[in-house]
A = this chain, B = another copy of it.
Amino acid sequence: MTPGLPATCPLPLSQYPHVLMAHGGGGRLMNQLIEKVFAESFRNPALDQRHDGARLEAGAGRLAFSTDSYVVRPLFFPGGDIGTLAVNGTVNDLAMCGARPKWLSAGFIIEEGLPMETLWRVAQSMKQAAAAADVQIVTGDTKVVDRGKGDGLYLNTAGVGVIEHEQVIAPGSVQPGDVVLLSGDVGRHGMAIMSVREGLEFESTIESDCAPVAATVMKLFEAGLKVHCLRDLTRGGLSAALNEIAEVARVKIAIAEDAVPVQESVRGACEILGFDPLYVANEGRFVAIVPEADAPRALDILKQAHPEAGVIGWVGAAERGLVTLQSRIGATRILDLLSGEQLPRIC
């Protein structure tokens, strides 16, 4: 066992050092894996029923429902791992719908031969991330695929959250005159992953920003603020998020480059690898688009969570969706969607 593990795996690793095809076969070995590794880590009343699904007491009202699969490599990186990512990613997607995240599912697609200890460490990360985000992992599934037909571990989480207010938080609610707030510095998750893959070393390690943002988002609603749209800055980064919103809302979003904070080490890594931090994925950052009148109070709340939160732009009328960037030297250019991708498999 590696020192520093949060707890000891109750499945004897000497007996089953690696995941076998049989661990996904519906027999005794699969039951043992589910009991000792997953149920042990995620324990809660809904999961403990050992049924085909979880029964939830949702109360009256509207729900949000979201899913993401996670194929990040390497599985472990500075600031997190595939397990923290899978919990926080779906928690954040629910928060972006204006919902309080409550329940997650977890689907594991494991390549035969994955060290059992790796799976245990990921389950422990998920347990901790779920506790930190105040959600429960209430149902799950385990599949094992042949060697050479996976890449260690793929994870899917889906999530259900409860919407406790009457606002419609969606790209279509964005209007000219709105203000664009950014919740912190950008580019850390993508560059943390790329630095590990490329073996880059900097004075300080770049750590992923992977974190749950739901608590901050809930404070916006608890303060009675109007929020038109929320969007986390995952694949495609700030640029993709703003472009998708602008396209659906048919507005122009104008951003000031100087207003977007980027850590010095992230900027350095981007320069070495030829990336633009505005296109790099984040896992704990979001934009909030709010009416001008509510922007100062919303900003106060975002700053409590991250001192570098700030106003980065505003929304204007346009014929079609458009994002523009005013650069440091004052020139304005269109901030377009990339055609393909900068960074494969960063989430």
Instruction: Report A's interface with B, CB cutoff 8 A.
Output: 20-22, 24-31, 49-71, 92-94, 96-97, 99, 103, 105-109, 138-141, 143-146, 148-151, 154, 156, 158-161, 163, 168-172, 231-232, 234-237, 240, 244, 248, 281, 337-345
Contact = CB atoms under 8 A, between A and B. Distances in A.
A52 B92 CA distance: 9
Contact of A158 (B22, B24, B67): B67
Q: Which of A25, A144, A235 has the most CB of B within 10 A?
A: A25
A61 B237 CA distance: 38
Contacts of A55: 62-64, 97, 163, 168, 170
Q: Which of A26, A55, A235 has the most CB of B within 10 A?
A: A26
A213 B119 CA distance: 34
Contacts of A144: 344
B341 A66 contact: no
A22 B240 CA distance: 14
Given A109-B71, A344-B25, A62 B58 contact: yes
Contacts of A150: 149-151
B20 A340 contact: yes
Contacts of A140: 67
Nearest to A54: B65
A145 B345 contact: yes
